[in-house]
Amino acid sequence: MPTESARGVGAMPSASRRTVRHWVTVAPLLAATLWMTFDVTGFSALLRTLVPDTPTVLYETRSLPRLMGDQLLLVATASALALVIGGALGGFALTRTGRPFRDIIVNVGNLAQTVPSVAVMALAIPLTGYGAEPVIVALVLYGVLPIILNVIAGIEGVPASAFDAATGVGMSPLQRLISVELPLAWPVILGGIKNMLVINVSAATLGAVVAAGGLGMPILAGFHRYNNAFILEGALPAIALALLIDRLLTPAAGRTRAA
């Protein structure tokens, strides 16, 4: 039997080249985020140029590394919870028992996103008190939907032929999930994680309202004291962080492939 000639040799950028291209976009954002957080003199010089005639450009109550730390802790805690809850709900919606609840779960997730986050925090305060908890409740509520949607879309998007073949060669449902369904759904699920993180990084700035700390603190103080430098001090690192996460979790150009 003659072998057909190999097609597409060299047509695809090698994995290492794609990795390089990926880090070329990520590295500057990472550098910018770190610089704003840790280089007090440099960053305050930038703020002074942007907002001249301001007596103080840096918020005095809490240093930027601590504010960034608060922010990351809020986002990480809420995202981890949202990932577990969203993954469980999405996974449940895909099981035989969960299928009837699929639409309900998606609709409730949608509904949760329409409630303003400030309202969620306000409603949560009687239960949780002030601090990080009400923010985490709000962020989880927001983050759960993209996870549910993308877990469902990702798994449902697995080609029927691959699913069929996995069953046909004798994989158990768990083996099929781990070695075929999750790897194939991974790019879509990763997209959901990215959406959640980006939403959460910006939403977490609202935490300052309920005394949860974070990059929202200087922004809030800036409003009260008519100090635009404070607003930028909180906003610029938050923007850089959101962009960094977005780029970090966006695979470099070329075909996306689950590893």
- Asked if 180 is part of the footprint of another protein (rule: CB under 8 A), the reply reads yes
Q: How would you class 57 by CB atoms within 10 Å of its CB: exposed for 0-12, middle for 13-18, buried for 19 or more?
A: buried
In whole angstroms, give the CA distance from residue 199 to residue 210: 18
CB 111, min distance to another protein, A: 34
Q: Does 10 bind another protein (CB under 8 A)?
A: no
Q: Which of 19, 107, 110, 167 binds another protein (CB under 8 A)?
A: 167
Shortest separation between residue 176's beta carbon and another protein, angstroms? 10
Binding mask 118-157 for another protein (x = CB under 8 A): ----------------------------------------
- Euclidean distance between CA atoms 149 and 155, whole angstroms: 10
Q: How far apart are alpha carbons 132 and 183 in whole angstroms?
A: 34
**Binder among 75, 120, 145, 166 for another protein (CB under 8 A):** 166
**DSSP assignment letter at 51:** S
Q: What one-letter code names the amino acid at 28?
A: P
Would you count residue 8 as binding another protein (CB under 8 A)?
yes
Query: How many whole angstroms separate alpha carbon 237 and alpha carbon 68?
Result: 8
The nearer residue to another protein, 55 or 168, going by C-beta atoms, is 168
Cα–chain-centroid distance for residue 198?
Answer: 4
Of 52, 100, 126, 168, which one interacts with another protein (CB under 8 A)?
Answer: 168
Q: Among the candidate windows 87-95, 173-181, 200-208, 237-245, which touches another protein by CB under 8 A?
A: 173-181
What backbone torsions phi and psi does residue 249 show, to the nearest 5 degrees? Answer: -100, 5
From the CB of 177, what's the least distance to another protein, in Å?
Answer: 13
Our CB check for another protein shows the closer of 69 and 254 to be: 254
Q: Does 3 bind another protein (CB under 8 A)?
A: yes
Cα(236)–Cα(68) distance, integer angstroms:
11
For position 14 contacting another protein by CB under 8 A, the verdict is no
The backbone region for 32, taken as left when phi is positive above 0, alpha when psi lies in -120 to 50, beta otherwise, is: alpha
Cβ-proximal residues to 32 (8 Å cutoff; 6+ apart), any chain: 240, 244
Task: Select the residue interacting with another protein from 106, 112, 122, 162 (CB under 8 A).
Answer: 162
Applying CB under 8 A, the residues found at the interface with another protein are: 1-4, 6-8, 12, 159, 161-162, 164-172, 175, 179-180, 183-184, 257-259
